[in-house]
Structure 1
Amino acid sequence: MEKLEVLPLSYRNAQTAVPPLSAWAGGLFTSFLRQAEKEADCRVAILLCTYHGQHYLAEQLESFAAQSHTNWEVWASDDGSEDDTHSILEAYISKWGSGRLSMHFGPAEGFAANFLSLTCNASINADFYAYSDQDDVWEADKLARAVQWLQSVPAEVPALYCSRTQLVDADNNEIGVSPLFTKAPSFANALMQNIGGGNTMVFNNAARELLREAGENKSVITHDWWAYMVVTGCGGRVFYDSKPTLRYRQHGGNLVGTNADWTARFNRIRMLFQGRFKLWNDSNISALLTLQHRLTPENREILQCFAKARGMRLIPRLIHLKRSGIYRQTLLGNIGLVAAAILGKI
């Protein structure tokens, strides 16, 4: 039997060039530090819209201060408040300094127009942009989670982060969570619904440039639904985080609340029969047509197929809507979609 030669350990290590465990761990730690530093360098502009927000505004501002990602600045646009909103903002300007918070005057044309005015404001420059309502409470890692994902997307690709929310009552007591959507974000879905509340959205400069190109004078239903349609339609990426990143306060003064309970579902059915959904689609299609040169060829075809189907008779309408690929995130939602198509309310 041939005798095997046993090489000294040091010789074997030299031949195979296996780095010591300490060197491997050190390299990993260095890589982690570089990534952390890269994320920390990212400037986030928080686009905060206010209107008679005196009851909860301070708590929202304090949740900004508690963020683990500390490189942020707040651009607050007030839409004509006559309560103590201005004095609260001015107090935080004094507390934080003008480099942290600045106050501006909105167009006084509703919350969607106010958010779009901030989105298109050429004075605001950052790496990422976060929409914020006046009455929520952000979890401490909200911005950090968004920045981490956005950093993974090439800068030239439009990217939008959004998440679930923890539902709370007026006193910040937990009452549930927003629905968990499991189907992939897409333009075909965006035509039918918005999966991410604006209060959770953070987006990059490539996405913002698309929204700025579309302009602030768009007659859209909501700014967040519009952002979801634009980013997906123009070939961007959307990440829906299943982990809630903020406490979404439900109270009598909500301009827009959660759609999770049965009252909201009943209201959606009522609005469907009243033709509200059809009017929303009229507005969305009209707005999207001004950006159709930016849509991907596939998404342009989806939009054209959907728009054409709406004016057809029943059977051709159903065939073309099916061909367009539009869908909602839940079974009940898709049943409602079919009903709307049959009734000509789409």
Structure 2
Amino acid sequence: MGTYNAQDYLSHQLESIAGQSCIEWTVWISDDGSQDDSLPLIASFQQKWGTQRLKLVSGPGQGFAANFMSLVFNTDIQAEYYAFADQDDIWEPNKLSRALSLIQQTAADHPAMYCSRTRIVDQWDRELGFSPLFTRPPSFANALIQSLGGANTMIFNHAARRLLVEAGQVNIISHDWWAYLVIAGCGGDIIYDEYPSVRYRQHARNVVGTNTGLRNKWVRLRKLWQGEFRNWIDCNITALNRLSNRLKPENRRLLHTFTAARNAWLLPRLMVLSQSGIYRQTLLGNLGLLFAALFKKI
């Protein structure tokens, strides 16, 4: 868990972890310089749970993605499975046990990652709806242009963690998108669960919120037009090239094709991107992808 000025909702999240039907867990918190009462709150839970159950380290102070990735690289953390946890969500009691029952169907030495839908709630935990239901299969062709699930739902095994560590310190925008790219690209299993076992809290201070609703869709469209989406993909491609030798051959070829097509002039750009098989999960998303390809915003 990465925290930063988390005092308003952190206790609810920690209590939901304590209430899991799966009881074999340890929470590692990397605090990124909180100026509120987060640290005293964490200390109170350490006193209640014990320091073997709740461990606190200092974050790198470089943003939320770097904070979470610092935990991935922390060699003191050793487990069979790892879960990202946001500071302000609430986990349903069966969140861990359900995810583990699915991800444990993959052999331990094969990379695997679980993610799911979320139940969207407001700051008072009142239900607002659900994140979109994705029905197309997870794949590297999808991962190149879209993150499948939020990090707050993700669990991955130790084999997947080794891939993330092998890639090293890279400049990425989002740790969830990066995990999907790496694990899918290297031939790992990606498990998408339709059941929403995380209550994804929306409030005024969300660093990254849900993309549902007309206002949020408009904000994302504006960022796409301003070139932010293209910049994100630039960062991902640069980082992926460090793992080129670990990518599945077909995914390495797809990465090369995708990279070349992005910089081609209009007609070959549209043709090659279409032939490459890249896709987003929804009809509206694929229309947005076509728009981005037309105007070289991908």
TM-score range, shorter chain: over 0.9
User: Per-residue deviation at 1:324?
Assistant: 1.6
Q: Is the Cα contact below 8 Å between 1:305 and 1:323 reproduced in 2?
A: no
Query: 1:331 pairs with 271, 283, 292, which one?
Result: 283
- The equivalent residue for 2:160 is 207
- The equivalent residue for 2:29 is 76
Query: 1:265 pairs with 217, 220, 237, which one?
Result: 217
Q: Is the Cα contact below 8 Å between 1:303 and 1:324 reproduced in 2?
A: no
Counterpart CA distance in 1 for 2:67 and 2:287 is: 34
Counterpart CA distance in 2 for 1:107 and 1:268 is: 28
State the Cα deviation string for residues 146-170 of structure 1 (Å, max 9, x = none).
1111211011111000010000000
State the Cα deviation string for residues 189-231 of structure 1 (Å, max 9, x = none).
001111100000000001000001111x211010000000000
Which stretches in structure 1 are left out of the alignment for 5+ residues?
Answer: 1-47
Which stretches in structure 2 are left out of the alignment for 5+ residues?
Answer: none
Query: 2:259 pairs with 291, 307, 310, which one?
Result: 307
Map 1:220-235; keep pairs closer than 5 Å.
220-235=172-187
User: Per-residue deviation at 1:175?
Assistant: 0.7
What SS does structure 1 have at the residue aligned with 2:84? strand
State the Cα deviation string for residues 56-114 of structure 1 (Å, max 9, x = none).
00010000110000000000000000110000110011000111001100000000000
Q: Is the Cα contact below 8 Å between 1:159 and 1:206 reproduced in 2?
A: yes
State the Cα deviation string for residues 226-284 of structure 1 (Å, max 9, x = none).
00000000000111100001100000010000011111111111111111111111111
Counterpart CA distance in 2 for 1:229 and 1:261 is: 26
What TM-score comes out, normalization by structure 1 length? 0.85
What SS does structure 2 have at the residue aligned with 1:290? helix
- The AA in structure 2 aligned to 1:59 is H
Q: Could you tell me the percent identity over the aligned residues?
A: 55
What TM-score comes out, normalization by structure 2 length? 0.99
Count of aligned residue pairs for this structure pair: 298
Counterpart CA distance in 1 for 2:221 and 2:149 is: 21
- The equivalent residue for 1:20 is none
Query: 2:151 pairs with 198, 209, 218, which one?
Result: 198
| Structure 1 ranges of 4+ moved more than 2 A | none
Structure 2 residue 271 is the aligned partner of structure 1 residue 319: yes
- The equivalent residue for 2:201 is 249
Between Structure 1 and Structure 2, whose CA radius of gyration is higher? 1
